Chains A and B, each alone.
Chain A
Amino acid sequence: GAVVSQHPSRVICKSGTSVKIECRSLDFQATTMFWYRQFPKQSLMLMATSNEGSKATYEQGVEKDKFLINHASLTLSTLTVTSAHPEDSSFYICSANGGAGSTDTQYFGPGTRLTVL
C-alpha cells in the first residue's frame, strides 16, 4: 500500500513552453501533498505544500506564478512549470502523507526528470 505515482517520468521541452507533472496517490487519499526539487548530488528542497481544495503554500524563493500547483482531488496534485527555462531543469519529486495510520510518514513518487533545452 501507500503508492505514489508521477507522470511523466521524463520530459524534454523547449525553452518558453509549459510542462505539467502529475502526482497521484494510488491507494490512499492524501489531503496534503508536497513538491520537492532535487539538484544533482544534492538534497531535496521543499518547493510547496499542496492542500486539497485550497491554494498551495510556497516556500520562500519559489515563484508561485512560475510553478503552478493544483490539488484538485484527494488523489491528484499537479505541478505546472510555466515558461520553462534551462535553469528549471531538475528532478521534481512529489510526496504524500498517508497510508493507514501513518499520517507522519511521507511516501514519495519516483520523480520527474525535466530537461529544458
Chain B
Amino acid sequence: GNSVTQMEGPVTLSEEAFLTINCTYTATGYPSLFWYVQYPGEGLQLLLKATKADDKGSNKGFEATYRKETTSFHLEKGSVQVSDSAVYFCALSDQAGTALIFGKGTTLSVSS
C-alpha cells in the first residue's frame, strides 16, 4: 500500500542554519505530495504542495521538489528562524478528494 517515510526527529538547529527534512514515499501512479506544519497547540497548516514530477512547491522560504526517480519530496529552507519551530508532516494523496497518508512527523526546534 501507499506510505510515507520521514526522517526521525527531533531536529535541533541554530537560527540561520540550513534545514533539510527527508521524505520518501511509496505509491502507485502519480500521487500529489504535501508538506504540512503544526505549530505548538495549533492544527495542521498546508505549507506547500506539488502535484506532478519535477514540480517545486515553495512557501515562506521553504521548498520541496517532487522527484519521481527517487520517490522523494525533501523539505529545505536556507535559513531557519526560531519561529519555524514546529512539527512538519510529509503527506501524499493518491487521488484527488481522498484522504491523506501522513508520515510520522519531524519535530524541528530552532534556537537563537
CB distance from B12 to the nearest CB of A (A): 16
Closest to A46 in B: B99
Interface residues of B in 33-88 (CB under 8 A from A): 34, 36, 42-46, 49, 51
The residue from A6, A32, A43 contacting B97, defined by CB atoms under 8 A apart: A32
**Are B46 and A105 touching (Cβ within 8 A)?**
yes
Interface core residue of B36, B44, B49, B102 (most chain A CB under 10 Å): B44
Asked whether any CB of chain A lies closer than 8 Å to the CB of B32, the reply is: yes
* Cα distance A111–B43 in the bound complex, in angstroms: 6
Count residues of chain A with CB under 8 A from any CB of chain B: 21
Contact in complex: A49, B46 (CB < 8 Å): no
Given A43-B105, A104-B51, A105-B49, check contact A110 B42 (CB 8 Å): yes
Quick check: B100 and A106 within 8 Å, CB to CB? yes
- A31 and B103 CA atoms in complex are apart in Å by 25
Count contacts between A and B, CB distance < 8 Å.
52
> Restricting to B78-112, which residues have a CB under 8 Å from any CB of A?
89, 93, 96-105, 107
The closest CB in chain A to the CB of B100 belongs to A106
Is the CB of A76 closer than 8 A to any CB of chain B? Answer: no
Are B97's CB and A42's CB within 8 A? Answer: no
- Residues of A contacting B: mostly: strand
CA distance A108 to B36 in the complex (A): 10
Determine the distance from Cα of A31 to Cα of B43 in the docked complex, in whole angstroms.
Answer: 21
Once the chains bind, are B42 and A104 in contact (CB under 8 Å)?
no
Q: CA A108 – CA B44 in complex, angstroms?
A: 6
Looking at the assembled complex, report how far the CB atom of A59 sits from the nearest CB atom of chain B, in whole angstroms.
9
* Residues in A whose Cβ lies below 8 Å from that of B105: 41-43
Q: Nearest residue in A to B43 (C-beta to C-beta)?
A: A110
| Shortest distance from the beta carbon of B30 to any chain A beta carbon, whole Å | 11
Q: How far is the CA of A115 from the CA of B104 in the complex (A)?
A: 23
**Residues of chain B at the chain A interface (Cβ within 8 Å):** 32, 34, 36, 42-46, 49, 51, 89, 93, 96-105, 107
8 pairs across A/B with beta carbons < 8 Å? A6-B43, A42-B105, A44-B44, A44-B89, A44-B102, A46-B101, A49-B98, A103-B97
The 6 closest A-B pairs by CB, nearest first: A110-B43, A104-B96, A108-B44, A43-B104, A43-B102, A46-B99
